[in-house]
Amino acid sequence: EVQLVESGGTLVQPGGSLRLSCAGSGFSFNDYWMSWVRQAPGKGLEWVANINHDGREKYYVDSVKGRFTVSRDNAKKSLFLQMNSLRAEDTAVYYCAREFPPMITFGGAPDSWGQGTLVAVSS
Amino acid sequence: DIQMTQSPSSVSASVGDRVTITCRASQGISNYLAWFQQKPGKAPKSLIFAASSLQDGVPSRFSGSGSGTDFTLTISSLQPEDFATYYCQQHNTYPFTFGPGTKVDIK
């Protein structure tokens, strides 16, 4: 069974930093693009970033470029999101997702999701 | 960025009704379109990929169609567990973008 478990969300002050983690299991982690999707309270889904199999290709939504960095450790089957210079508008539940199908050369759409981790940016 | 719109924004329906949700892209995205279902307080669930292919385990009452800029998600006979919010997403061009969602609630 595919499992994705996020961790690291917490309350942080504006301007602060946070690192989210996502542990994958039940599948060949290094065969898949992985992504982060967020959802602000009461709002819709927003794609944030993704990363290819070997970590060499990364893409971001404009609002986080230069502040967030996506990375992965295939040996540990883990995905990360380093979030710097956090703003109030970054407050959201952050979901880790596996993109489908495996071994593609361009990103795909999610087929499996974690349960999410809440990041709250407030003083 | 490619803008995704959905209509209607909400729909009230009864069990057994046929429900159709439309998703439109601001430019052509071929069939790089996925649909998701989300219930309150829960993670999204993937329903359809490549505009019309069902994810494993998704009931056959769900179907998707379309290509280019116009897409539809149809629930042929609404079941109690289908009351939720539905989102489309394009993955043809970065940044990938979601539609604003369509809430399906009980009439």
Q: Is residue B27 over pLDDT 90?
A: yes
B68 touches chain A (CB under 8 A): no
Asked if the C-beta of B71 comes within 8 angstroms of chain A's C-beta atoms, the answer is: no
Q: Are A22 and A5 in contact (CB under 8 A)?
A: yes
Facing residues of A12 across strands? A121
For B31-71, write each residue's pLDDT tens digit. 999 999 999 999 999 999 999 999 999 999 999 999 999 99
Q: Is A5 helix (H, G, I), strand (E, B) or coil?
A: strand
A60 CB within 8 Å of a chain B CB? yes
* B1 secondary structure, DSSP code: -
Quote the CA–CA distance of A112 and B77 in Å, as a whole number: 25
Smallest CA–CA distance, residue A108 to chain B, in Å, is: 6
Residue B37 CB coordination number (10 Å):
22
Chain B interface includes A95 (CB < 8 A): yes
- For residue A12, what are its two tokens? 């942080």
Q: Is the pLDDT of residue B30 over 90?
A: yes
The angle subtended at Cα A4 by Cα A61 and Cα A105, nearest 5°, is: 50
Q: pLDDT at position B103, please? A: 98
For A58, nearest residue in chain B (alpha carbons):
B94
Q: pLDDT category, A107, cuts 50, 70, 90?
A: confident
pLDDT band at A14 (very low <50, low <70, confident <90, very high): very high
What are the CA-CA distances from residue A23 to residues A3, A26, B37, B40 (Å)?
Answer: 8, 10, 23, 24
